[in-house]
Chains A and B, each alone.
Chain A
Amino acid sequence: MSDGHLFNNISLVGRGGTNPGQLRVYSGGVLWKKQGGGKSVEVDKSDVLGLAWTKVPRGNQLGVRTKDGLLYKFTGFRDQDIASLITVFQTTYGIQPVEKQLSVSGKNWGEVDLDGNTLTFLVASKQAFEVSLADVAQTQLQGKNDVMLEFHVDDTTGANEKDSLMEISFHIPNSNTQFVGDENRP
Chain B
Amino acid sequence: GTNRNSLKTSSELIAYKSVNDLPPPREMMIQVDQKNEAVLVPIYGVMVPFHVSMVKTVSSQQDTNRNCYVRIIFNVPGTPFNPHDANTIKNQGAIFLKELSFRSKDPRHISEVVQQIKALRKSVVARESERAERAT
Residues of A within 8 A of B (CB): 11, 13-15, 17-18, 55-58, 61, 73, 75, 102, 104-112, 121, 128-132, 145-146, 148, 153, 160-173, 175-178
Assess whether B15 is in contact with A164, with CB atoms less than 8 Å apart: no
Count the A-B residue pairs with Cβ separation under 8 angstroms: how many?
174
Per the CB 8 Å criterion, the residue count for chain B at the interface is 57
The answer to whether the Cβ of B24 comes within 8 Å of any Cβ in the partner chain is yes
Residues of B within 8 A of A (CB): 13-25, 27-30, 38, 41-51, 54, 69-70, 74-78, 87-88, 91-106, 109-110
Contact A166 to B103, CB < 8 A, known contacts A57-B23, A110-B95, A130-B44:
yes
- B39 CB, min distance to chain A CBs, angstroms: 8
Contact A170 to B44, CB < 8 A, known contacts A105-B15, A109-B91, A163-B70:
no
Q: How far is the CA of A176 from the CA of B111 in the complex (A)?
A: 36
A73 proximity list for chain B (CB < 8 A): 44-45
- A130 CB, min distance to chain B CBs, angstroms: 6
Q: How far is the CA of A47 from the CA of B98 in the complex (A)?
A: 36
Closest Cβ neighbor of A60 among chain B residues: B19
Contact A105 to B16, CB < 8 A, known contacts A73-B44, A166-B101, A170-B98:
yes
B43 proximity list for chain A (CB < 8 A): 129-131, 165
Identify the 10 closest CB pairs spanning chains A and B, nearest first.
Answer: A106-B15, A13-B45, A106-B51, A167-B101, A162-B29, A104-B16, A57-B22, A171-B76, A171-B96, A105-B14
